[in-house]
Amino acid sequence: MKKELILIGGGGHCRSCIDVIEKENTYRIAGIVDKRGKVGTRVLAYEILASDEELDTLAGEHKTFFITIGQIKSGSKRKELFEKLKALGVEIPVIISPLADVSKHARIQEGTIVMHGAHVNAGAEIGKNCIINTCAIIEHDCKVGDHCHISTGSILNGECLVGEGAFIGSNCVLSNNIVIAGNSVIGAGSVVIRRIDEAGTYVGNPVRRIL
């Protein structure tokens, strides 16, 4: 029998996660948590059955949860929810699309989702509560910290290090051995050829700091 899974967050990213979860076919989605005003409505085929304020109660009734709010720039909300779920003692699984290619020699930690078409190569290490989005490439021996979002079509070449809470925008390219400081934002389409040691917002080809 499939384990029941409660999703937290009912926006656009949730829809993409639902598609991955359905195809992965390990869990049965029992419902979604979102804002109080959305309780009783549906996301695709699944009911929003509770608000954020009811997580404590739900954790007494269900054992497995997954965070499905997106991460644009800051991952602080996802991190806050992850830490709350850990304090409640529930299971937060790894979700990997069957349409992704993940090396048996890679390591992926709890709460992370690897979406359709993504590639995670040998020796790569992905932290907790990350989004490895559609068609992203994480090459050999890369390390991605907790609470990161590697967006659609981004490429991390070999031995890159992405610090906790970083956001790598769609279609970014990181050259080999690049370091990205934690909580940095790398704008869509940027090309990073030098290490970034100070958190900030960076864009362009080659990338430059704007904030």
As annotated, the active-site residues are 140
Euclidean distance between CA atoms 119 and 117, whole angstroms: 7
Question: CB–CB of 108/114 below 8 Å?
Answer: yes
The full DSSP string for 66-95 is EE----SS--HHHHHHHHHHHHHT-B---E
Euclidean distance between CA atoms 60 and 166, whole angstroms: 32
Upper half-sphere CA count for residue 206 (Cβ side, 13 Å): 8
Encoding tokens for residue 6? Answer: 């409660």
Upper half-sphere CA count for residue 6 (Cβ side, 13 Å): 23
